[in-house]
Chain A
């Protein structure tokens, strides 16, 4: 029953068990699904009346929109229940209202989702990603920025800039997933200048961005530079307004923290010496328009941070805070009683919770 830790028993179950028992005695199989389930599949149409209810994402869409974005526990849940159901909650609805009202002529606004451990920040981010991809935005989803600052087996000195370090494995993994989710965009967007990959290969100006991605996947050594090129191009071109760009980063505090990587001479690597982090940081600055930046802070997976830290300044540090300032903080609280009830009703319906006691 390890999945229970994720949502159901998180809040102190003080009130909800007694009504559950009484109701189960009366109507075991007829608990209406409408309490916890809504058939509204488009996040754009979710409103406050859907708050607390789960909505269903078809599995093909899951594969297309979230090739790598969902948390591991949720992926296990999808496999177990054979369906993906996400709960509609207030922070996500709030973000939708802001995104709907964004003025795309203004510089991109940064939103930081923060909250204690296990309250649903990553799931909120996924909900936002689903919404934006349904609306036709180009979604640049980095599922966990912490993966880029730790446990890296190969570190190559960057060919582009001698002081920086490349991470070919992480970069190619990310490129593969990015390609899976944004195929059609990659054919439409064209490069704006010529890029040289090493001495012989190059991508000409005006070629679709998909070629850059292919280059990165084919030649793993230049994958990090390919990622850098993709980010730069997208940033420049979203200014022109042909598409809307959503930058969704989970665990953004990794970009300004410390790394556990070491160079060959055992000296520690600071984040800005990594090409991937360096390029991503450039994207987090709000000097481009035509989109939005939605990020989450994450303590799990963060390095050298106490496990009780969850507030923006604690996790971002001074440098990170100054870099993201001014941002709109979005707190994500634990489940409210209504949401909790909805969650366990869903589990009951899925026959996950078996015993009434």
Chain B
């Protein structure tokens, strides 16, 4: 029975390494192999090939390893992670001591575990870019860098000497694709001198300050105040008052968003309040 049992154990071990959907502990396949193998083992290799050819297609490696416990069991909590993943590498379930599950939970089950999980291997991972690893990178690169120029100590000076700013945004999101279309947007910022001469027709959105609407409103209010002999009111007071702010927001909404019932009624109410129109039935 001893050679049989050893062969069985070996067969079970190779099964464990090559299996696709092992969900339970090490003992499972062994029981499965024990349940299935009914052919008496003559020699270990022959028995294996014969067993496997009845069970699975494809070859198994000639070299049969006895099952090795994964590296995770030997990892200390405070180990140096940058030596486990020094460079970008595929996800190795035996090297990452985290109980990660990924995949679709079939039939109200749970997502499959990490062992042999193709989903985890397919996706890009950043296990090689943990903060301590990056610190080491920076420390290594420091020897090749020069000092920040001491003359550029304020934002305005930076803008003055280096007016062009390019802004790129990276996104992390979950979805069917690793790419996020919003990340394609690159902003180039530079205010040219001619932009200060931009006229009202060129403006992309409506700005109420210094517009005709503001001038009209202020003139009207000043006239109203003058007729009531209240000449102490200044433009700043008027601009800060509640009615003018209300009016301003309604005009901006009207111009930027177009005209809707809601916008028009809001505008009407704000004008009535601004000009103090009473409705006497």
Contacts from A to B (Cβ < 8 Å)? 47-48, 94, 97-98, 100-103, 105-107, 109, 286-287, 289, 311-314, 322-323, 325-331
**How distant is the Cα of A87 from the Cα of B219 in the complex, in angstroms?**
38
Top 4 nearest A-B pairs (CB, nearest first) are A101-B278, A97-B279, A322-B212, A101-B280
Which residues on the A side are within 8 Å of B196 (C-beta)? none
- Contact for B268 among A102, A106, A289, A328, CB less than 8 A: A328
Residue of A nearest to B219 (CB): A287
Q: Does B41 contact A (CB under 8 A)?
A: no
**How distant is the Cα of A311 from the Cα of B262 in the complex, in angstroms?**
13
**How distant is the Cα of A328 from the Cα of B228 in the complex, in angstroms?**
22
Report the number of A-B residue pairs with Cβ-Cβ less than 8 Å.
75
- Contact for B224 among A106, A327, A329, CB less than 8 A: A106
Which residues on the A side are within 8 Å of B251 (C-beta)? 325
User: With A312-B259, A327-B271 given, is the CB distance from A98 to B277 under 8 Å?
Assistant: yes
Which residues on the A side are within 8 Å of B254 (C-beta)? 313
**How distant is the Cα of A325 from the Cα of B274 in the complex, in angstroms?**
12
The answer to whether B279 and A101 have CB atoms under 8 Å apart is yes
- Contact for B217 among A313, A326, A328, CB less than 8 A: A326
Contacts from B to A (Cβ < 8 Å)? 211-213, 216-217, 219-220, 223-224, 227-228, 247, 251, 254-255, 258-259, 264, 267-268, 271-272, 274-281
Which residues on the A side are within 8 Å of B223 (C-beta)? 106-107, 287, 289
Residue of B nearest to A289 (CB): B227
**How distant is the Cα of A278 from the Cα of B64 in the complex, in angstroms?**
101
Residue of B nearest to A314 (CB): B259
Which residues on the A side are within 8 Å of B271 (C-beta)? 326-329
Which residues on the A side are within 8 Å of B212 (C-beta)? 322-323, 325
The answer to whether A97 and B281 have CB atoms under 8 Å apart is yes
User: With A312-B259, A314-B259, A326-B247 given, is the CB distance from A106 to B216 under 8 Å?
Assistant: no
The answer to whether B259 and A106 have CB atoms under 8 Å apart is no
24 residue pairs of the A-B complex, CB under 8 angstroms, read A47-B281, A100-B280, A101-B280, A102-B277, A103-B276, A106-B276, A107-B220, A107-B224, A109-B275, A289-B223, A312-B259, A312-B264, A313-B255, A313-B259, A322-B211, A322-B212, A325-B212, A325-B251, A326-B216, A326-B217, A328-B271, A328-B272, A328-B277, A329-B264
**How distant is the Cα of A320 from the Cα of B215 in the complex, in angstroms?**
15
Q: In the assembled complex, how far is the CB of residue A156 from the closest CB belonging to chain B, in whole angstroms?
A: 32
Q: In the assembled complex, how far is the CB of residue A338 from the closest CB belonging to chain B, in whole angstroms?
A: 20
**How distant is the Cα of A185 from the Cα of B271 in the complex, in angstroms?**
32
Which residues on the A side are within 8 Å of B276 (C-beta)? 103, 106
The answer to whether A322 and B213 have CB atoms under 8 Å apart is yes
**How distant is the Cα of A101 from the Cα of B276 in the complex, in angstroms?**
10
The answer to whether B213 and A106 have CB atoms under 8 Å apart is no
Residue of B nearest to A313 (CB): B259
Which residues on the A side are within 8 Å of B211 (C-beta)? 322
Which residues on the A side are within 8 Å of B272 (C-beta)? 328
User: With A101-B280, A313-B259, A328-B268 given, is the CB distance from A322 to B216 under 8 Å?
Assistant: yes
**How distant is the Cα of A314 from the Cα of B258 in the complex, in angstroms?**
9
Residue of A nearest to B278 (CB): A101
The answer to whether B280 and A326 have CB atoms under 8 Å apart is no
Residue of B nearest to A104 (CB): B227
**How distant is the Cα of A100 from the Cα of B278 in the complex, in angstroms?**
8
Which residues on the B side are within 8 Å of A311 (C-beta)? 259, 264
The answer to whether B220 and A286 have CB atoms under 8 Å apart is yes
- Contact for A325 among B213, B268, B279, CB less than 8 A: B213
Which residues on the B side are within 8 Å of A109 (C-beta)? 275, 277
The answer to whether B267 and A329 have CB atoms under 8 Å apart is yes
Q: In the assembled complex, how far is the CB of residue A131 from the closest CB belonging to chain B, in whole angstroms?
A: 13
Residue of A nearest to B271 (CB): A326
Q: In the assembled complex, how far is the CB of residue B258 from the closest CB belonging to chain A, in whole angstroms?
A: 8
